[in-house]
């Protein structure tokens, strides 16, 4: 079993007839999925997603894969193949297309429709190639075949990539719901056929590798949602992912049965459900969907809202309802709120904060912990074992998961007799040569932060400064220096933000600063920068000794 090698250098030249696999995201994390396949000097990209920031990344909107590995070779990219339309698989496509706009995008109908709606906001018109399960297309030296898989979004697909180096199966995100709402089963027969052909390398979804057993069918959510809507006395708010068309369909069906009007809340929810309806993937009963203005005129018992914000996103509709900053919806004790989603790792505190906020106003909050209102979109261990036994890969490379998920998946592979298992992390280079997959090097693969309209301008040093500002506060030290004599003109002035509200907090340090300035004058120090740094050190030591805190201290020297 291969293990991560932080000491790895750059990879050697790819041997002739070999296939190179480099994950630029999605290994050791949930999100930012992007894998680059190289054969015969051509590149095929599978997925290009984003990672959402955590609390220790203040001000960051999105985190992108690091494109530096392929930036000088964008003309060698034959296509971007998308497994499905979730943000962690397609969200970074607009940023890659900024660097080369005519890269062909290959995907299913719903996936491409969601992407095109997103690209419209970026003013990019993509080159797209729509495929369906069963299709087999040539993309440069890559022969790519598509297979239906079941997931928490319509039209998800796995892909088989054939080259002379071998056959690779990339599952994308999948599960094996035997009674899917849309009747679209994961193509186990197709996977078994690939197994008979001989799968040289399996890249498989690891998200639920620690969870035993088999997935609960999506159909079992329907009765619970129906009961919640039937018994609710006031408004019902259902929060779920804006791409979970099947979950929204169940909510619409329950609303129709209990004579409630439905309004979609949140820009992405409105956009995605419109796309799903236009493609015939969402059945909206006549007259059931209304806008928010009409909702305000209806009795609460006739209203059902489908909202974004199931992960506690600070600016989402549900979060604004919880802190009573939503300009149209004011939660009260008669309302029922359903969080019909799972918790993405890292979002737990944000979600519980929203639940507590809603509960504070008296709402009844129904979530996965107390009722069957969500099932996962990812295969648990029993289904992963089933896949491994059907495919019988020569080499296994777990993908899409944190380290604990990857290792759990590797153990499942070992139990089923996979001879070679490669545990890699983002940026690690895996070469498939003569039927054996092995780690051969590593490429740069850091986080690229999006902050507003800027991409890559924020780095770790900036985030460190932001964390200091948020945790310890800010102190400004202003000195006035005579531009002719170089002597201090007036006493130092100290201001603070986020440090203390006591106006006399810094009185005790002023004599120390003045003494330091007198000492500098005796020694003939008149350089404004040096004076500012000497005073900053004095102030910093005093603050640390007095308060045991390390705020950001900025000296400002004015020449007068």
Residues 179 and 34 both lie in one domain:
yes
CA atoms within 13 A on the CB side of 398: 33
- Residues recorded for the chain: 560
**Segment (H or E) for 433:** strand 428-433
Q: What CATH number does residue 137 fall under?
A: 3.60.15.10
Query: What are the average pLDDT values for consecutive 10-residue runs of the chain, which has 560 residues?
Result: 68 95 93 96 96 69 89 97 96 95 97 94 94 98 98 96 98 95 95 97 97 93 93 92 92 95 91 94 93 88 90 77 86 90 70 88 87 90 97 97 96 96 95 96 86 67 67 80 68 81 82 83 78 85 85 81
Query: Dihedral sign, CA of 261, 267, 273, 277?
Result: positive
What pLDDT is recorded for position 557?
81
Q: What is the CATH number of the domain that holds 283?
A: 3.40.50.10710
In a shared domain, residues 39 and 187: yes
- Token pair, residue 217, equals 């069918």
CA dist., res. 529 & res. 202, Å (int): 59
Tokens of 498: 């986020």
Tell whether 259 and 128 lie within a shared domain. Answer: no
> What pLDDT, on a 0 to 100 scale, did the predictor assign at position 529?
80
Is 264 among the domain residues?
yes
What's residue 315's pLDDT? 67
pTM summary value: 0.84
Q: What is the pLDDT of residue 309?
A: 80
- Give the model's pLDDT for residue 558: 81
For the chain, the domain total comes to 3
Q: Are residues 302 and 205 in the same domain?
A: no
Q: For residue 112, what are the domain limits?
A: 19-214+376-455
| Token pair for 203 | 């890249």
- The answer to whether residue 468 sits within a structural domain is no
Q: What is the pLDDT of residue 347?
A: 65
102: tokens are: 């005519």
What does the pLDDT read at residue 144? 98
Alpha-carbon torsion 458, 461, 463, 466, what sign? negative
């Amino acid at each position: 079993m291969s293990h991560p090698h932080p000491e790895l250098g750059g990879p050697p030249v790819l041997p002739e007839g070999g296939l190179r696999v480099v994950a630029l995201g999605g290994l050791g994390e949930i999100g930012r999925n992007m894998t680059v396949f190289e054969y015969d000097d051509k590149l095929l990209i599978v997925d290009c997603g984003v990672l959402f920031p955590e609390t220790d990344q203040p001000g960051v909107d999105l985190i992108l894969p690091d494109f530096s590995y392929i930036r000088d070779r964008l003309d060698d990219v034959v296509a971007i193949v998308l497994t499905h339309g979730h943000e962690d698989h397609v969200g970074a496509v607009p940023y890659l297309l900024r660097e080369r706009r005519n890269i062909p995008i290959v995907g299913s109908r719903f996936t491409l429709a969601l992407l095109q709606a997103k690209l419209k906001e970026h003013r990019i018109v993509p080159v797209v190639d729509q495929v369906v399960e069963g299709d087999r297309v040539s993309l440069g030296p890559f022969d790519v075949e598509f297979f239906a898989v079941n997931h928490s979004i319509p039209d998800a697909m796995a892909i088989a990539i054939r080259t002379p180096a071998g056959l690779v199966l990339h599952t994308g995100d999948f599960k094996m719901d035997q009674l899917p709402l849309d009747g679209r089963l994961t193509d186990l027969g197709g996977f078994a056929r690939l197994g008979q052909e001989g799968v040289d390398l399996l890249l498989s979804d690891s998200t639920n590798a620690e969870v035993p057993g088999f997935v609960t069918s999506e159909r079992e959510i329907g009765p619970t949602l129906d009961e919640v809507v039937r018994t609710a006395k006031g408004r019902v708010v259902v929060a779920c992912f804006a791409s979970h068309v099947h979950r929204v369909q169940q909510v619409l069906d329950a609303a129709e049965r209990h004579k409630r009007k439905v309004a979609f809340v949140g820009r992405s929810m409105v956009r995605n459900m419109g796309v799903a309806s236009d493609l015939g993937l969402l059945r909206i009963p006549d007259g059931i969907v209304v806008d928010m203005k009409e909702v305000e005129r209806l009795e609460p018992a006739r209203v059902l809202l489908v909202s974004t914000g199931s992960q506690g996103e600070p600016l989402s509709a549900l979060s604004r309802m919880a802190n009573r900053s939503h300009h149209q919806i004011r939660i009260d004790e008669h309302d029922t709120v359903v969080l019909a989603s799972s918790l993405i790792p890292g979002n737990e505190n944000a979600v519980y904060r929203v639940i507590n906020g809603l509960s504070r106003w008296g709402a009844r909050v129904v979530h996965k912990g107390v009722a069957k209102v969500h099932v996962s979109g990812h295969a648990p261990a029993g289904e992963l074992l089933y896949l491994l036994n059907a495919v019988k890969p020569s080499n296994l490379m777990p993908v899409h998961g944190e380290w604990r998920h990857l290792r759990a998946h590797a153990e499942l592979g070992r139990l089923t007799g996979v001879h070679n298992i490669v545990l890699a992390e983002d940026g690690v280079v895996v070469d498939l040569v003569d039927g054996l997959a092995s780690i051969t090097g590593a490429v740069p693969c850091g986080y690229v932060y999006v902050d507003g309209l800027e991409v890559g301008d924020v780095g770790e040093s900036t985030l460190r400064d932001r964390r200091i500002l948020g945790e310890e506060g800010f102190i400004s030290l202003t000195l006035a220096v005579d531009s002719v004599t170089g002597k201090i003109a007036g006493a130092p002035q100290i201001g603070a933000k986020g440090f203390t509200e006591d106006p006399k907090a810094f009185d005790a340090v002023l004599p120390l600063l003045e003494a330091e300035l007198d000492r500098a004058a005796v020694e003939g120090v008149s350089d404004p920068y040096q004076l500012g740094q000497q005073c900053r050190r004095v102030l910093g030591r005093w603050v640390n000794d007095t308060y045991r805190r390390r705020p950001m201290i900025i000296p400002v020297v004015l020449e007068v």
